Amino acid sequence: MNNFFKIHACGNNFLVFFKNKQIIFFKKILNKVNLNCDQILIIKNINFINYIINIKIFNNNFSEALNCGNGIRCLSWFFLIKKKNFFLNFKLKKNYIYSFKSKNIYTIYKISKIKFLFIKIKNFFLKVYFVNLINLHIILFIKNINSIYLKKIYIKIKKYFGDCYNIEFLKLLNKNNFFIRIFERGVGETYSCGSGIISSSFCIKKKLLKNNYKINSIGGECYTIFIKKFISIYGKVNFCFFGKI
């Protein structure tokens, strides 16, 4: 039997397994049962002495993911609340992502550099921002978040750069409150994306120079805060159930 649990944040739901197996092993199991998820999180090993949890992340098509901000945020909640730790490092290949518990559960990334360029779509020039947060993101600020043209712009950007980027559209609601729509690489529009929210917050800070932001998405809301050379994401996490298959 294989122990697992299901957990979600901002509409993204995850299956977490405690066995370090090849993905083909989980593919065979999940194809036999009716369990849906956005990503599969595999706990390879746990070293509580050094506060390190080694993980792997796979998309629901069983391709390996480079990062998953909401998934790691869910793991942070599980291990820091359920297991009563106060600080952890999540090791994802050669990268470390930090989490700690205070009033909230904070998942922390180092601030990344931002690049930008202008692209022309029909008769319009759009300023697009590029952020590398282990996985790659393109961010655009727009006035109408419900525009019927967003999907067309998304398709055009994919033609420019290939399906290598998550693409985020941002609209300022008021002060430091934003709404985001996210088109994930290989998936299309999704409820949310933690790494997309973090990457977008870099671009927001470049514009507004504030340290705290509320980010609303189709799947719900979460918050980001800048502390010196780091950014933290936090918000509500919902535990679903434990299981064995």
8 A C-beta contact, residue 25 and residue 42: no
**What CA–CA distance (Å, rounded) separates 52 from 67?**
17
Q: Domains of the chain: which residue ranges?
A: 3-110+235-244, 114-228
State the pTM of this model.
Answer: 0.93
**What CA–CA distance (Å, rounded) separates 123 from 127?**
13
Q: Is 239 left (phi over 0), alpha (psi -120 to 50) or beta?
A: beta
Architecture in CATH for domain 3-110+235-244 = Roll (3.10)
pLDDT digits (tens, 9 = 90+) for 67-120: 999 999 999 999 998 777 789 999 998 899 999 998 899 999 999 999 999 988
CATH homologous superfamily of domain 114-228?
Diaminopimelate Epimerase; Chain A, domain 1 (3.10.310.10)
- Nearest C-alpha neighbor of 154 from the set 195, 183, 118: 183
8 A C-beta contact, residue 38 and residue 63: no
pLDDT of res. 159: 87
| Stretch (H or E) spanning 134 | none
Confirm whether 3-110+235-244 and 114-228 share one CATH topology: yes
pLDDT of res. 36: 83
**What CA–CA distance (Å, rounded) separates 184 from 165?**
7
Of the pLDDT bands very low, low, confident and very high (cuts 50, 70, 90), residue 233 is very high
pLDDT digits (tens, 9 = 90+) for 169-203: 999 998 899 999 999 988 889 999 999 999 999 99
- Nearest C-alpha neighbor of 196 from the set 106, 113, 134: 134
Residues in contact with 15: Cβ distance below 8 Å, sequence separation at least 6, in sequence order: 4, 5, 6, 30, 35, 37, 39, 40, 41
Tokens 């590029």, located at residue: 130
**What CA–CA distance (Å, rounded) separates 217 from 191?**
7
Most confident of the ranges 20-29, 33-42, 204-213 = 204-213
First to last CA, the chain: 5
3-state per-residue secondary structure call for 47-113: ECCCCEEEEEEEECCCCECCCCHHHHHHHHHHHHHHCCCCEEEEEECCEEEEEEECCCEEEEEECCC
